[in-house]
Structure 1
Amino acid sequence: MELVELATSAGINIGLAILFFALYSVFRKQHANAGVYFTRHLLRERQRMKVAGEEKDSFSLESLVPSAGWVKRAWDPIEEDILKSSGVDAVVFLRVFIFCMRFLMICTIVGFGILAPLNFTDTYLADNPSEKEEHSYGTLEKLTILNISFGSMRLWIHFGVLYFISLSAYALLYIEFKHITNLRLEYLAGALPQPDQFTVLVQSIPKPENEELSYSDNVDYFFRRFHPIEYLSHHMVYKSSHVTKLLNELERLKLKIFELKQKPPSERKPRRAGFCGLFGPLVDPIELHMEKLEDVHRQVRQCQMEFRQKKKEVPTAFVTVRTRWGAAVTAQTQQSVNPMQWVTQWAPEPRDIDWPNMEIPYNQIFIRKIVAAVLAIALTFIYYPIVLGVKVLENLDTVKKYLPQVVVDNVLNIPAVSFFVQGYVPALLLAVILYICPSIFFSLSRFEGHPSVSHQERKASSKMFSLLAGNIFLAAVLSGSLISISESFTEDPKSIPRRLAEAVPKQANFFITYVMTTGWAGMPLEILQSGSLVLNFLKRHTVDKNKPLLDQVYSLPYYRTLPTVLFFVLLGLVYSIINPLILPFLLIYFILGYLVFRNQILHVYEPAYETGGQYWPEIHSRTIGCIVFMQVLFIGMFSLKGLKSASFASIPLPFLSWLFHEHCRHRFLPIFHNFNLESTMKKDLVDEESGRKDEVLNTIRDAYLHPALRYVDLNVDQNSKTQRLLPESSSFVEPDIPV
């Protein structure tokens, strides 16, 4: 890769990043955009009249001047403030960026302080012009391990750096795991009484032997018999598709009436009461919608009266017990001789439940997971040739074969155009193609039948990372058909490290441009919130000119963001020794990401659930997998470079990574999977001594009542859609809106 190609890609992405950040700093000062950039505050009815130091209708030239004050305000809050504001999950997400910044800082210092000068001063590419010409190596390849001569003793320096980087990664991972474990323990110890602390999800409830009895009767009999002291109550899950549709229609009508009431009477045009407003007397639209609301409400009440029929129940229930200790014992033990019956686990938070998924029979879940895995693999096969097609653009000679000669002579032969097509377009197209994948994987994870949205997002994140690491990386590195690659590796598995060592260094330049395109320009797009900005603009100018605020708040899309972050961790590990040039690009990405997401977590995203840091063990496992991949790669790299003694000396590293991972699993992982009886008993004793136990039990008794059976509130004096989205139990400490 030549310096001018890298400069072209960097210039485009730096320009876009500066443009997007400048637009954000201007847009956030406009009151009309407050619902986009200060959603968390404004939806709580706070500081509605003052945003960015300006009154609602005021205007000044200063509001059109870009500024960087938001950076300081995003950096200032300490971790404790974010913990109180957004919970443990948000802090864990930011800790991933902290780990990456620390690790890449170490790698960058070592890479540019030791490896880059060591590589640049060797002469392998200069002494072998035929190989340089064959692989189209440019000037920047002199900074990589490719310029180290065959069998050179300089490779021992790379060997030492490999061990140093591996040990550094272990140390930083251990520090983070310990810190996040302490955060989780503090969260569990200090959390106020919540329904999920006393509730167990019970699936695969067997049919009662007496046909006159219901599933509900069976649950009551079973828990009164086997948990007579702890059992408090239970709530069944019902088939509720029809009632759910009616409730959604009810919410839609309430929201419509709420919006109509915000308009002055002069702006509410009367409508005819007949079919589609074509005939009948003219009436106020509020009265018309109120009549529809009352009609839907009558239908809902009628359905609720019939809802407790036996045929409506499904063999799933939420069982509430009297103590946290009892919930821990019940959730973490086998209830029946048949392990496929009376299956228990901790109940998700009420706001985290995916109620339609609760209706899926337990015996279908295993089959659904197999089907989802097959579909995910099929998507990988579908995307593989697409990615290969995008990669073709890197080779202009290949592209020219498929284009008219006129286009080749008049367009592609222009240096600026050729640098743009070769150095920027492939990474941009790849980022666009992958944009829809997270949503597909989330749908597949939901299809698997997981009871909570948080579990679905974690599984979707895992699938997306597998696509990026296995498909995108494989397609870019090996550039062959999946069948030929699998046959080659199956016939000679010992050749895998050597094959990877041959292929990986050649694609470093592509991944540098990919980091800039996806990261440098992607992070400013994240803070700009272009989609919400456009929707807000359209709403103000087409739907309701007097109501510029959005009527909903979004949660942090973990399943979209985490896979990309971990994929860049993989790139940083793999290329930290092979091509140190990629390290500063990755470091800039993680610094930008840390600032941007601190800002978004403080001002935009509202936590949709709280898992107490359940994401971290999966992040840790994938990072260990990336480390092992790097170590296996260098076993082949040293062999390829003619230093087999260093190759043999690197073999213990993957086993060392496995031992480290096993130690972390035994030391920390149980804290994330189970609740210890000691802590639960202590909290129960505190409730007993304070005399709050009965009050707590009365509060949580109906927390898991099925939504279709809950009381329907017809109050339309406030935005019901927003009220439903905001969690009642979340602790929120509002930072000052920037001036």
Structure 2
Amino acid sequence: MEIIYLATSAGINLGLAILFFTLYSVFRKQHANAGVYFTRHLLRERQRMKLTGEEKETFSLENLVPSATWVKRALDPSEEDILKSSGVDAVVFLRVFIFCMRFFMICTIVAFGALAPLNYTDTYLADNPDEKKEHAYGTLEKLTILNISYGSMRLWVHFAVLYIISFSAYALLYIEFKHISKLRLEYLDTVLPQPDQFTVLVQSIPQPENEELSYSDNVDDFFRRFHPIEYLSHHMVYKSGHVTSLLNELEKLKLKIFELKQKPPTERKPRRAGLLGLYGPLVDPVELHMQKLEDVHHQIRQCQMEFRQKKKEIPNAFVTVRSRWGATVTAQTQQSTNPMHWVTQWAPEPRDIDWPNMEIPYDQLFYRRIVSTVLALALTAIYYPIVAAIQLLDNLDNVKKYLPNVIVANVLEIPAISSLVQGYLPALLLALLLYMVPSIFFFLSRIEGHPSVSHQERKASSKMFSLLAGNIFLASVLSGSLLTISETFTEDPKGIPRRLAEAIPTRASFFITYIMTTGWAGMPLEILQSGVLVLNFVKRNTVEKNKPLLDQVLSLPYYRTLPLVLFFVLLGLVYSIVSPLILPFLLIYFTLGYIVYRNQVLNVYEPAYETGGQYWPEIHSRTIGCIVFMQIVFIGMFSLKGLKSASIACIPLPFLTWLFHEHCRQRFLPIFKNFNLESTMKKDSIDDESGRKDEILNSIRDAYMHPALCHVDLNVDQNSKTQRLLPESSAFVEPDIPV
């Protein structure tokens, strides 16, 4: 690729980034947008009444002047502040960016500082014009390892940098794993008593031998026999499709009544009480909706009375025990001689439960996961030709083959158009094409039947990373059809490193433009919250005039962001030595991401659940996979470049990486998979000594009652929709909310 194409992409994305950051710095100061950019604070501090629009906003020129004060406010809070306000998961999410910044700073100094001049000053491409013509190499390829002469001693510098990068990754990953493990242990030791600490999810409950007994009777009998001291109570899962729809209708009616009550009686247009408002006496819409509310409530009460019938039960239950120690033993042991019966695991947090998935029988889960995997592979296969077609735009010679000569001569020959098509358009189209894929994978992960939203997000994240690494990177690098690629891997497995070494350098420029398009412009677009901003504007000026948007409580998009971050880690590792020019672009992306997401975590995103940092082991494992892939590539790269001794000397690296990974798994992974008896006994002893044990047990006894059985609150004095994700107390850093 020529420099002009890269400069075009850099100019467009840098311009968009500056524009979006400028708009954000102005929009965040506006009174009308406080519900978009300070949602957490407004909801938690109950400032809703101050921002109903009853007061007119005072115009100020200062509010129209862009400023960067928000950056300082985002960076000021310590990790402890974020831990208190947003939890361990949010801290782990930000630690991923910290790891990436530290690691790629080292890579940039070592690889870019040393290898870029070394590559550029060699003469391989100049001495071999036929090869350059054949592959259409441009100016930027002189900065890559392609420009190193065959058998050159300069390759030993690349070899040394490979070892430096590998051992730097080991050191930083170990530091992060150790730090996050410490955070998790501290969280488990210091967190207030929570229902999930005392509760076990029991699945595949067998049919009672006595047909007159229910699943609930069977659970009670089993745990009284085998856990007589620890067993406290249980809650069954029920088929609740109809009552769930009634509860949703009830919430909508409560919200509608709440909104109507905010209006003066003179502004509430009377409606007829008959069907669809076509006949009957005129009544106040509040009274009309209150009548509907009472009717729906009566239907819900009738359904709840029927739930106790045997036919409504699902063979899944939440069992609450009297101590954390008892929950640990119950959740982490096999309960029956048949391992497919009485299957136990730790219960998710009550707010993390996907109740519709709880109704899925345990014996269906295996088949559902097969179906989900097949559909995910099918989606990857469907996307492959589309992605391949988009990446044809990266080379104008390929594009010209499929277009009429008139367009080629009159359009693509214009320098500005050719720069735009080759330098920016492919990355933009690819980013747009992938926008909906994370949501599709989340849906596929949900149909697998996982009981918690957090588990579903982790599975969706895994699927998305596989698509990015396998489809966008590996398949596009190797080119050809899927059949050709599979033949390469099956017929000549020993030639895989060499094939990768030949193909990877040719795609460096495309991935640089993709990083700029997705990262440089994507991060400012994330902080701008354009979709929510437009929705807020529409609602304030139409159906909810003069009222800020506070009903849209968002949580961190783990399954969207983490796969892309890890994909960029893969690109950085592979290309750090092949094409070190990519490193400064990555470093800018991770720095922007850290600043932007600190701001979002503090002001916008409300935690929907807390897993105690269980994302990190998966992040660690995928990073290890990326490191191994990089090392395998360079076994082939040095062989391809005629330095077989360096290629042989690289062979121990993948084994060293595997040994390091195994050490981390043995040292740290059990902390994330199991709860230890030592800590649980200590906390139980503290509860006993304080005399709060009975109070705690009474408070958690009904935490896992099925939502369809819970008491229905008809209070419409406040919008309950905005209260669902908000815990009672958390530490916050005071923002500069415009009032």
Q: Work out whether the TM-score is over 0.5.
A: yes
Identity of aligned residues (%): 83
Displacement, 1:308?
0.8
- Secondary structure of residue in 2 paired with 1:153: coil
In structure 2, relative to structure 1, the CA distance for the partners of 1:255 and 1:732 (3 Å cut) is farther
- Secondary structure of residue in 2 paired with 1:43: helix
Aligned counterparts, 1:626-637, within 5 A = 626-637=626-637
Distance of 2:50 and 2:702 partners within structure 1: 39
**Does residue 1:267 correspond to 2:267, yes or no?**
yes
The residue identity in structure 2 corresponding to 1:441 is F
Distance of 1:268 and 1:41 partners within structure 2: 31
**Does residue 1:505 correspond to 2:505, yes or no?**
yes
Displacement, 1:473?
0.4
In structure 2, relative to structure 1, the CA distance for the partners of 1:272 and 1:49 (3 Å cut) is closer
Which position in structure 2 is the counterpart of 1:397? 397
Which position in structure 1 is the counterpart of 2:254? 254
- Secondary structure of residue in 2 paired with 1:344: strand
* Contact 1:23–1:66 (Cα < 8 Å) also in 2: yes
* Contact 1:602–1:735 (Cα < 8 Å) also in 2: no
Distance of 1:67 and 1:495 partners within structure 2: 55
* Contact 1:199–1:319 (Cα < 8 Å) also in 2: yes
Which position in structure 2 is the counterpart of 1:178? 178
Displacement, 1:281?
1.3
Which position in structure 2 is the counterpart of 1:26? 26
Aligned counterparts, 1:19-418, within 5 A = 19-46=19-46, 57-418=57-418
- Secondary structure of residue in 2 paired with 1:218: helix
The residue identity in structure 1 corresponding to 2:16 is L
Displacement, 1:258?
0.5
* Contact 2:639–2:647 (Cα < 8 Å) also in 1: yes
- Secondary structure of residue in 2 paired with 1:736: coil
- Secondary structure of residue in 2 paired with 1:317: strand
**Does residue 1:599 correspond to 2:599, yes or no?**
yes
Displacement, 1:624?
0.1
- Secondary structure of residue in 2 paired with 1:711: coil
* Contact 2:328–2:677 (Cα < 8 Å) also in 1: yes
Q: Which moved more, 1:404-413 or 1:390-399?
A: 404-413
In structure 2, relative to structure 1, the CA distance for the partners of 1:721 and 1:738 (3 Å cut) is closer
Structure 2 regions of 5+ residues with no counterpart? none
* Contact 1:101–1:587 (Cα < 8 Å) also in 2: yes
Distance of 1:658 and 1:325 partners within structure 2: 34
The C-alpha deviation readout for 1:511-547, integer Å capped at 9, x for no partner, is 0000000000000010000110011111011111131
In structure 2, relative to structure 1, the CA distance for the partners of 1:35 and 1:350 (3 Å cut) is same
The residue identity in structure 2 corresponding to 1:294 is E
Distance of 2:270 and 2:56 partners within structure 1: 30
Which position in structure 2 is the counterpart of 1:616? 616
Which position in structure 2 is the counterpart of 1:733? 732
Distance of 2:397 and 2:550 partners within structure 1: 50
The residue identity in structure 2 corresponding to 1:137 is Y
* Contact 1:31–1:56 (Cα < 8 Å) also in 2: no
The residue identity in structure 1 corresponding to 2:699 is T
* Contact 2:34–2:737 (Cα < 8 Å) also in 1: no
Displacement, 1:474?
1.9
- Secondary structure of residue in 1 paired with 2:228: coil
Displacement, 1:47?
5.1
In structure 2, relative to structure 1, the CA distance for the partners of 1:363 and 1:561 (3 Å cut) is same
* Contact 2:81–2:733 (Cα < 8 Å) also in 1: no
Which position in structure 2 is the counterpart of 1:460? 460
Distance of 2:593 and 2:604 partners within structure 1: 15
Q: Which moved more, 1:453-462 or 1:263-272?
A: 263-272
Distance of 2:700 and 2:103 partners within structure 1: 44
Distance of 1:607 and 1:497 partners within structure 2: 43
The residue identity in structure 2 corresponding to 1:104 is F
RMSD between aligned residues? 1.2
The C-alpha deviation readout for 1:462-515, integer Å capped at 9, x for no partner, is 000000001100232111101011012211100000000000000000000000
| Count of aligned residue pairs for this structure pair | 735
Distance of 1:239 and 1:46 partners within structure 2: 36
In structure 2, relative to structure 1, the CA distance for the partners of 1:648 and 1:447 (3 Å cut) is same
Which position in structure 2 is the counterpart of 1:699? 699
**Does residue 1:10 correspond to 2:10, yes or no?**
yes
Displacement, 1:56?
5.8
Distance of 2:21 and 2:319 partners within structure 1: 50
Distance of 1:45 and 1:496 partners within structure 2: 58
- Secondary structure of residue in 2 paired with 1:543: coil
* Contact 1:351–1:727 (Cα < 8 Å) also in 2: no
Displacement, 1:402?
3.0
Distance of 1:80 and 1:212 partners within structure 2: 55
Question: TM-score under structure 2 normalisation?
Answer: 0.98
- Secondary structure of residue in 2 paired with 1:435: coil
Distance of 2:385 and 2:163 partners within structure 1: 36
* Contact 1:187–1:612 (Cα < 8 Å) also in 2: yes
The C-alpha deviation readout for 1:657-692, integer Å capped at 9, x for no partner, is 000000000000000000000000000000000000
**Does residue 1:683 correspond to 2:683, yes or no?**
yes
- Secondary structure of residue in 1 paired with 2:314: strand
Displacement, 1:738?
5.7
Distance of 1:211 and 1:452 partners within structure 2: 31
Displacement, 1:46?
4.5
Segments ≥4 residues shifted beyond 4 Å: 46-51
The C-alpha deviation readout for 1:258-295, integer Å capped at 9, x for no partner, is 11111122221111111211222111111110010000
The residue identity in structure 2 corresponding to 1:453 is V
In structure 2, relative to structure 1, the CA distance for the partners of 1:506 and 1:176 (3 Å cut) is same
The C-alpha deviation readout for 1:605-643, integer Å capped at 9, x for no partner, is 000000000000000000000000000000000000000
- Secondary structure of residue in 1 paired with 2:44: coil
Distance of 1:738 and 1:550 partners within structure 2: 14
Distance of 1:111 and 1:374 partners within structure 2: 40
The C-alpha deviation readout for 1:292-312, integer Å capped at 9, x for no partner, is 000000000011111110000
- Secondary structure of residue in 2 paired with 1:657: helix
Q: Which moved more, 1:248-257 or 1:136-145?
A: 136-145
